[in-house]
A and B are shown apart, each in its own frame.
Chain A
Amino acid sequence: MSGAVAPGDEAGLIAAVAEAFGSGTPLEVVGNGGKRGLLRPVQAARTLSTGRMSGISFYSPQELVLSARAGTPLSTIAATIAERGQQITSEPPDFSGLLGGEAPQTLGGVVGANLSGPRRVAWGATRDHVLGIRAVNGRGELLRSGGRVLKNVTGLDLCKLLTGSHGTLAVMSEITIKVLPAPERRGTLVLAALDPKAGVAALAAALGSPYAVSGAAYLPEQKSAYLRIEEFAGSVQYRCEKLARQFANTEILDTAASLALWRGIRDAAMLPRAEALWRVSVAPSAGPSILRAVASSGVSGYLDWGGGLVTCAGPATKNAHQAICDAARSTGGVWWLLRAPAPFRAAVDVLPPEAPALAAIRARVQHAFDPRGIFNPLKLRAA
Chain B
Amino acid sequence: MIAQPEPKQGVLARRDAIVAGLRELVPGSGVIAEPLLLKPYETDGLAAYRQVPLAVVLPETTEQVAAVLALLHREGARVVPRGAGTSLSGGALPMVDAVVVGMMRMNRILEINYADRCARVQPGVTNIGITQAVADAGFFYAPDPSSQLACMIGGNVGMNSGGAHCLRYGVTANNLLGVKLVTIEGEVIELGGEHLDAAGYDWLGLITGSEGQLGIVTEVTVRILRGPEGARAMLAAFRANEVAGQCVDAIIGSGIIPVALEFMDRPAIHACEAFAHAGYPLDAEAMLIIEVEGSIAEQDFLLDRIKEICARFDPISLKVSRSAEESAAIWKGRKGAFGAVGRISPDYLCMDGTIPTSRLPEVLRRIGQMSDACGLQVANIFHAGDGNLHPLIMFDANDASSFARAEKFGADILRLCVEVGGCLTGEHGVGVEKRELMPAQFTATELEQQRRVKSAFDPDWLLNPNKVFPLSPPVAARPLAA
Contact surface of A with B, Cβ cutoff 8 Å:
60-65, 85, 114, 116, 120-121, 124-125, 127-128, 137, 141-145, 147-161, 163-165, 169, 180-182, 184, 201, 204, 207-210, 212, 232, 234-235, 238, 281-285, 305-306, 308-309, 332-336, 351-352, 354-355, 357-358, 361-365, 367-369, 380
Closest-by-CB residue of B relative to A126 is B197
Are the C-beta atoms of A154 and B423 separated by less than 8 Å?
yes
Are the C-beta atoms of A364 and B456 separated by less than 8 Å?
yes
* Candidate in B193, B208, B443 with the most chain A CB atoms within 10 angstroms: B193
Residues of A contacting B115 in the complex (Cβ-Cβ under 8 angstroms): 201, 204, 284-285
Are the C-beta atoms of B202 and A151 separated by less than 8 Å?
no
* Candidate in A150, A305, A363 with the most chain B CB atoms within 10 angstroms: A150
Are the C-beta atoms of A181 and B256 separated by less than 8 Å?
yes
Of B13-21, B28-36, B349-357, the stretch lying at the interface with chain A is B349-357
B327 smallest CB distance to A (angstroms): 17
The 5 A-B residue pairs with the shortest CB-CB distance in the complex, in nearest-first order: A160-B205, A364-B456, A368-B452, A283-B194, A181-B255
B474 within 8 A of A: no
Return the contact of A364 from the options B255, B424, B428, B482 (Cβ within 8 A): B482
Q: Given that A157-B209, A283-B194, A352-B199 are known contacts, is A235 also in contact with B298, CB under 8 Å in the complex?
A: yes
12 A-B pairs with CB atoms under 8 Å apart are: A61-B253, A137-B449, A142-B445, A151-B166, A153-B159, A181-B252, A204-B115, A234-B298, A281-B199, A334-B199, A357-B187, A357-B188
Return the contact of A164 from the options B201, B298, B423 (Cβ within 8 A): B201
A331 smallest CB distance to B (angstroms): 9
Are the C-beta atoms of B253 and A365 separated by less than 8 Å?
no
* Candidate in A147, A153, A363 with the most chain B CB atoms within 10 angstroms: A153
The complex places the Cα of A232 from the Cα of B250 at a distance, in Å, of 17
Binary CB contact string for chain B from 284 to 316 against chain A (1 if under 8 A, 0 otherwise): 000000000011011001100000000000000
Closest-by-CB residue of A relative to B224 is A208
B317 within 8 A of A: no
Of B124-132, B225-233, B337-345, B373-381, the stretch lying at the interface with chain A is B225-233
The complex places the Cα of A308 from the Cα of B194 at a distance, in Å, of 9
Closest-by-CB residue of A relative to B205 is A160
Q: Is the interface of B mostly helix, strand, loop or mixed?
A: loop
Return the contact of A151 from the options B208, B249, B256, B427 (Cβ within 8 A): B427
B75 within 8 A of A: no
List 16 additional contacts besides A181-B256, A364-B481; criterion CB under 8 Å: A62-B357, A124-B174, A128-B170, A147-B422, A149-B423, A150-B386, A153-B427, A154-B430, A160-B205, A164-B198, A181-B252, A208-B139, A281-B198, A309-B197, A355-B190, A362-B201
The complex places the Cα of A60 from the Cα of B253 at a distance, in Å, of 10
Are the C-beta atoms of A163 and B205 separated by less than 8 Å?
yes
B200 smallest CB distance to A (angstroms): 5
Q: Given that A234-B297, A380-B200 are known contacts, is A369 also in contact with B354, CB under 8 Å in the complex?
A: no
Are the C-beta atoms of B455 and A309 separated by less than 8 Å?
no
Residues of A contacting B298 in the complex (Cβ-Cβ under 8 angstroms): 232, 234-235, 238
The complex places the Cα of A116 from the Cα of B198 at a distance, in Å, of 12
Return the contact of B438 from the options A128, A155, A158, A354 (Cβ within 8 A): A155
* Candidate in A154, A305, A335, A367 with the most chain B CB atoms within 10 angstroms: A154
CB within 8 Å of A: which of B427-464? Answer: 427-430, 434, 438, 441-443, 445-447, 449-450, 452-457
B206 within 8 A of A: yes
Residues of B contacting A137 in the complex (Cβ-Cβ under 8 angstroms): 449
A374 smallest CB distance to B (angstroms): 16
Are the C-beta atoms of A234 and B116 separated by less than 8 Å?
no
Are the C-beta atoms of B173 and A157 separated by less than 8 Å?
yes
Are the C-beta atoms of A210 and B227 separated by less than 8 Å?
yes
The complex places the Cα of A282 from the Cα of B196 at a distance, in Å, of 7
Residues of B contacting A309 in the complex (Cβ-Cβ under 8 angstroms): 196-197
Residues of A contacting B355 in the complex (Cβ-Cβ under 8 angstroms): 149
B426 within 8 A of A: yes
B289 smallest CB distance to A (angstroms): 18
Return the contact of B387 from the options A63, A333, A335, A365 (Cβ within 8 A): A63
Residues of B contacting A163 in the complex (Cβ-Cβ under 8 angstroms): 202, 205
The complex places the Cα of A182 from the Cα of B253 at a distance, in Å, of 11
The complex places the Cα of A158 from the Cα of B167 at a distance, in Å, of 22
B195 within 8 A of A: yes
* Candidate in A64, A152, A181, A184 with the most chain B CB atoms within 10 angstroms: A152
B330 within 8 A of A: no
* Candidate in B200, B206, B438 with the most chain A CB atoms within 10 angstroms: B200
